Amino acid sequence: MPLGTILLALAVTSLWGFSFVVISYAFEAFPPILLSFFRVTAASLPILVLIRPPRIPLGHFIALSLLLAVVQQICMFVGIDLGVPGGIASVLVQSQVFFTTALAYVVLKERPVAIQYIGIAVAAGGMAVIAISLPSGGSLLGFIAVLGCAASWGVSNIIFKLIKTVDLIRLLAWCHLPAVPINFALSYAMEGGPLVIDRLISADATHYLAAIFLGLISSTIGYLIWSTLMRRHSATLIAPFSLLIPIFGMTFMAVLRGEEFGTLRLIGALGVMAGLALCVFRLRRVARAPASELTLPEAVTMVRPIQPER
């Protein structure tokens, strides 16, 4: 693999891992749904250039908009706000691989191989260990919310597979646009209108920049790089780099935000990542398509979904 490809893959996975640090900082000023509003707003900004909307079925477009830019975003931010450490969240959200595998079996009739069943079992054990290590109450609810984020991500993968679009950036930008007023309305209704207005006024410029970073840099630029790598190289070479995201996430959170994991959570995290590795490296059994013919949705449906938005 060319050195430039390796460096780009490391750059984008470290960017997505670092996004969890930015999320924790943005929470100092914004409640979770309001932060989701700012993120989807920033992620929709490319439509100022990509004016022509994507040509996909309306039902698929609505489903992607709700899943990617409403459910996924809000579940992630609410989960972290309820007490799931950002580093642990970066591990749990990768369980989207298992949701994608299960849905691909039901919807697309893509039968998993034996090693994937083993990987799912190992990762499920790791997630159970993490759940046990979390305090009761808020953190457990947050744990469920983060898994909801992963589940919505998995469903989105299947939709991307069905529509077979290759114009990823245009589609992502337009899918975020309808979610902008939805996120704001939910924030205003559920987080309290006066509180929302007060937070908007009291937040400083760095908090707004953090929200813009999450939507425009982490999401749009990050996925532009990732999709380019997926299209130019075999998925078997690029996809395993996604396993570095939780490693970067946990490391950045520990170093920059002082997050402590404890032995039990680290064991659980390692279990999840080991299970992910068994599923991801199953790709070596998949027939290789020429890089020029491999679209991102086709590749990531096997390994990693389209958004994090972290």
Instruction: Answer yes or no: is pLDDT of 300 > 50.
Output: no
Does the CA dihedral 51-54-59-64 come out positive or negative?
negative
The answer to whether residue 308 is domain-embedded is no
Reported as a pLDDT band with limits 50, 70 and 90, residue 100 is: confident
Q: What is the mean pLDDT of residues 100-129?
A: 82
Reported as a pLDDT band with limits 50, 70 and 90, residue 280 is: low
Instruction: Answer yes or no: is pLDDT of 294 > 70.
Output: no
| H, E, C per residue of 211-279 | HHHHHHHHHHHHHHHHHHHHHHCCHHHHHHHHHHHHHHHHHHHHHHHCCCCHHHHHHHHHHHHHHHHHH
Q: Of 35 and 297, which is predicted with more confidence?
A: 35
Q: Of 112 and 81, which is predicted with more confidence?
A: 81
Q: Which of 276, 280, 243, 297 is nearest to 16 (CA)?
A: 243
pLDDT of residue 239: 67
The answer to whether residue 206 is domain-embedded is yes
The answer to whether residue 115 is domain-embedded is yes
Instruction: Answer yes or no: is pLDDT of 10 > 50.
Output: yes
pTM: 0.80
The answer to whether residue 150 is domain-embedded is yes
Q: Which structural domain range is residue 152 located in?
A: 3-302
> For the chain, what is the radius of gyration of the CA atoms?
18
pLDDT digits (tens, 9 = 90+) for 281-292: 654 444 444 443
Reported as a pLDDT band with limits 50, 70 and 90, residue 55 is: confident
Instruction: Answer yes or no: is pLDDT of 185 > 90.
Output: yes
Torsion, Cα 17 20 21 25, to 10 degrees, reads 160
Two structure tokens written together for 219: 């999401």
Q: What is the mean pLDDT of residues 128-153?
A: 83
Cβ atoms 193, 28 nearer than 8 A: no
Residues contacting residue 113 through CB under 8 Å, at least 6 positions apart:
282, 285
Number of domains present in the structure of the chain: 1
The answer to whether residue 207 is domain-embedded is yes
Which of these ranges, 83-87, 144-148, 214-218, 273-277, has the smallest mean pLDDT?
273-277
pLDDT of residue 182: 95
Instruction: Answer yes or no: is pLDDT of 169 > 90.
Output: no
